[in-house]
Amino acid sequence: MDTAAPLILTLQFDERSFAFFDTQRRRYFPPDRNLIPAHLTLFHALPGEHLPQIEQDIEAISSPYRPFTLDVTGLRPLGRGVAYALASTELAQLRRDLALHWNDWLKPQDRQNHQPHVTVQNKVHPSAARALLEELSDSFQPFQAEAVGLELWWYRGGPWEKVRSFGFSA
């Protein structure tokens, strides 16, 4: 096992929410670059050599959580793509607690202010991204998604490899 590879931590959605976001991603993401399912990233690069401690921390910090609702508040331009913006006080608190616990390990990208989103298009020409943003914005109505747990992944340059899921079940 390559413990030098980074770990990615994502939010796990309920089946209905995941199906919506993943369908959108398969529809709008360039197929040759769409190697992973739709996701909401919490941390992009945790140190793989600390996997046992990271798993233990996730279990301890997430164990009080029950599934919770996220508000899908709008669409967000990414320059070369489009994402759905999400908001949740529970998600913000959970991520803050994990970030404080892992402060010494966090890379600059994971130290930034977290803006929860699910990318459904990326790696396209900016004009194509603007067109999709306009198209999706025309019919967008705020809705809710359900968070049911966390998922930890290995990143080794290609499709992500799932390490483990951590369900919310307090």
Parse the chain into domains and list their residue ranges. 6-167
Average of per-residue pLDDT across 64-91: 97
- What percent of the chain shows pLDDT beyond 90? 92
Could you tell me the pTM of the whole model? Answer: 0.95
Dihedrals phi, psi of 125, to nearest 5 degrees: -65, 140
Q: What's the pLDDT tens digit per position in 97-144?
A: 999 999 999 999 999 999 999 999 999 999 999 999 999 999 999 999
Predicted pLDDT of residue 87: 98
Average of per-residue pLDDT across 146-159: 95
Contact (Cβ atoms closer than 8 angstroms) between residue 142 and residue 5: no
Element (H, E) at 40: strand 40-47
CATH of 6-167, one of 3.10.20.30, 3.90.1140.10, 3.30.460.80, 3.40.47.10: 3.90.1140.10
Predicted pLDDT of residue 131: 98
Radius of gyration for the chain, computed over Cα atoms and rounded to the nearest angstrom: 16
Q: Please provide the average confidence, as pLDDT, over all residues in the chain.
A: 95
